[in-house]
Amino acid sequence: MNDTMHINDTIVVEIDIDAPPERVFQAWIDPRQRLAWWGDDATYRGTKMESDLRVGGKWRTEGKSTQGKPFTVSGQYTRVEPPTALGFTWNHDWGQSGLPETHVLIELTANLLRHPRDAHPLRIHEHVRARRPQPGMAAGARLVALLPRAP
């Protein structure tokens, strides 16, 4: 009961990445790089990406599942702040139709707790408050990449 009644409107996924923020940001916004890592041979592959990278600009990705089933994902950019923040809306055509549009926010943050020589960096477990949903957006995802601290 406790779990089901806890209405989370935001998924928070964090990962440690050992690369400068500029490189990670480029991997998101450059269609060629994005298609190289978007999915993999075991699940699905992106095949085409169009991107008008500015606030209000539209993006669209096409791809195929390993079973050959095509899919598209599209949306509009809401924040473009290289190399620390990228926000966009998200609509996909698989699963149930009529699902609400979601909002994805990618934040690239220096991992301040990380020891410079530590091969297995610590992870910051910061408390993240669920943001209030915008009208028509029942849920969103907040993706946090924790990067090495800038020198």
Partner 1 sequence: MRKPMVSDKADQRDVFQALADPTRRAILGLLRQGSQPVGSIARDFPISRPAVSRHLRILREAELVTEIKVGRNRLYELNAAPLKNVDDWLAHYRYMWQHQLRNLKRFVEQKGRTH
Sign of CA dihedral 6, 10, 11, 17: negative
The residue whose two tokens read 């020589």 is 117
Please report whether residue 128 would count as binding partner 1 according to CB under 8 A: no
Using CB under 8 A, which of 29, 53, 85, 137 touches partner 1? 137
Q: Specify the residue, 13 or 112, whose C-beta has the smaller distance to partner 1.
A: 13
Per CB under 8 A, which of residues 62..91 are in contact with partner 1? none
Please report whether residue 110 would count as binding partner 1 according to CB under 8 A: no
Please state the closest distance from residue 68 (CB atom) to partner 1, in A. 19
**Which tokens go with 118?**
């530590």
- Distance of alpha carbon 81 from alpha carbon 17, whole angstroms: 19
25 half-sphere exposure, CB direction, 13 A CA radius: 16
Please report whether residue 93 would count as binding partner 1 according to CB under 8 A: no
